[in-house]
Structure 1
Amino acid sequence: MSTPLHPDPLEWGHGPKVLDVFVEPTCPFSVRAFNKLWDLLASVGEDRITIRVRLHSQPWHMFSGVIVRCILAASTLEGGRETARAVMTAIGAHREEFEFTDHCSGPNMDATPNDIIRRIEKYSGVALADAFAVPELQKAIKWQCKYSRQNGIHVSPTFMVDGLIDPAMSSGDTVEAWEKHLFG
């Protein structure tokens, strides 16, 4: 009998202020925002903020679906959300390995989904292939997509503060600017 699949929520902190950040893992602006989240969490404290990373797959990032599935697969492994965070960090650090030139050409035209999985495994040090192949993972992927659509998310990164989209926040802002915006 197999063990049920349990993706770990991509959530850090436990404070009353809730920041949902919708990211596409290979988008340069999303990578910039994602990398700042940990400094924000350290600066304001885990008891003041809850940061939730929401995966927002975008079709012009051609391997987006495969990459999102890899991250969610990582969240089912030992270490859960921290394993998924390590995978996202590795993808962001090597994002050119997962992108197409001008979203339509370049060396990745000959890459297969298995090539992408192997690259992510190489850069992150996380064995993902078995977890990636679990059919039940589809529920977690669909949930991420549905949550984005229900909240009117169209681009990444998008910031939602306490349940409301906040267009005043940007990946180009400093961590200090985010902190001031969130906490005054």
Structure 2
Amino acid sequence: MALQPSLSPFVIGPYAAPHTLEFFYDIVCPFSKKSYANIRTVLEPQFINEKYRDKLKIIIRLQPQPWHVASHFCHEAVLAVARVAPDQLLNYLDVLYPVNETFYDIPASTLTPVQIREKLADIAEPVIGSERVAAVKELLKHKSTPNGGVAVTEELKYSIKVSRQNSIHTSPTVLWDGLIQEQVSSSWGEKEWTDFFNAKVSA
């Protein structure tokens, strides 16, 4: 498991836990949405916080899919919230995923990049407050150089490079201790995860 320090808010559970479960997600992917909901309702309360409290951590990895027109804007916003309000990152994802269809290809096709970024920041306001939303919007503004991206572009590049070097193609993709687990489904519930951990957790 490797993670640059600025992305530490994407870790759920103790950073030093011996086992790592990684989820590569696209914000506008319906299967990522379903899988993320399972993290919050099944994995986090029952396994991360209870049964395997000191043995297991989750890393959420960002994997924008380029065929979705608004995908990288969504991930920029998530990274901006992670920088400005790291303590509220998961709460932002909790409110962003339920409305992710707003940023599907057809709904987003009539919006400019500036409008998309504005909408994404506004979704965060009930979670992080108006002052920190203003800081998020500043991070999502273009740099002065014509092709330099925004303030969180380097974190986005890092996330994409991690996906590429691990040959991650679909979202969600799940890794256990660095190895892809093809059998894991976004529909898994308590029973499937219990069976998985019973077979995998050894320390």
**What percentage of aligned pairs have identical amino acids?**
26
Taking structure 2 as the reference length, what is the TM-score of the superposition? 0.78
Any gaps of 5 or more consecutive residues in structure 1? 101-105
Amino acid at match of 1:110: T
Structure 1 Cα separation of the partners of residues 107 and 171 of structure 2: 24
Query: What's the counterpart of residue 42 of structure 1?
Result: 45
Partner residue of 2:12? 12
Q: Are residue 130 (structure 1) and residue 138 (structure 2) matched?
A: yes
**1:50-89 deviations in Å (ceiling 9; x for gaps):** 10000001012211111111101111113x1x42222222
Number of corresponding residues? 173
TM-score by length of 1: 0.85
Residues 100-120 of structure 1, C-alpha deviations (whole Å, 9 max, x = no match): 2xxxxx342211122222222
- 1:68 is aligned to 2:75: yes
SS in 2 for 1:170: coil
**1 CA distance for matches of 2:183 and 2:55?**
20
Q: In the alignment, residue 88 of structure 1 is paired with which amino acid? A: L
Verify the 8 A CA contact 1:26 1:64 in the aligned structure 2.
yes
Residue 104 of structure 2 aligns with which residue? 99
Which whole-Å deviations, capped at 9, do the CAs of 1:95-147 have from their partners, x for residues lacking one?
Answer: 111112xxxxx342211122222222332214121122374422211110010
Deviations 1:12-39 (Å, cap 9, x if unpaired)?
Answer: 1023221000000110000111111122
Amino acid at match of 2:163: S
Aligned to 1:103: none
Q: Which amino acid aligns with 1:130?
A: E
Structure 1 residue 149 displacement after superposition: 0.7
Q: Match for 1:118: what amino acid? A: E
Tell me the amino acid that sits aligned with residue 57 of structure 1: P
CA distance in 1, matches of 2:21, 2:39: 10
Contact preservation (8 Å) 1:21, 1:158: yes
Correspondence for 1:24:
26
Q: Structure 1 residues 109, 178: closer, same or farther in 2, change over 3 A?
A: same
Map residues 76-115 of structure 1 onto 2, 5 A cutoff: 76-78=83-85, 80=86, 82-100=87-105, 106-115=106-115
RMSD (Å) for aligned C-alpha atoms:
1.9
- Gaps of at least 5 residues in structure 2 are 144-149
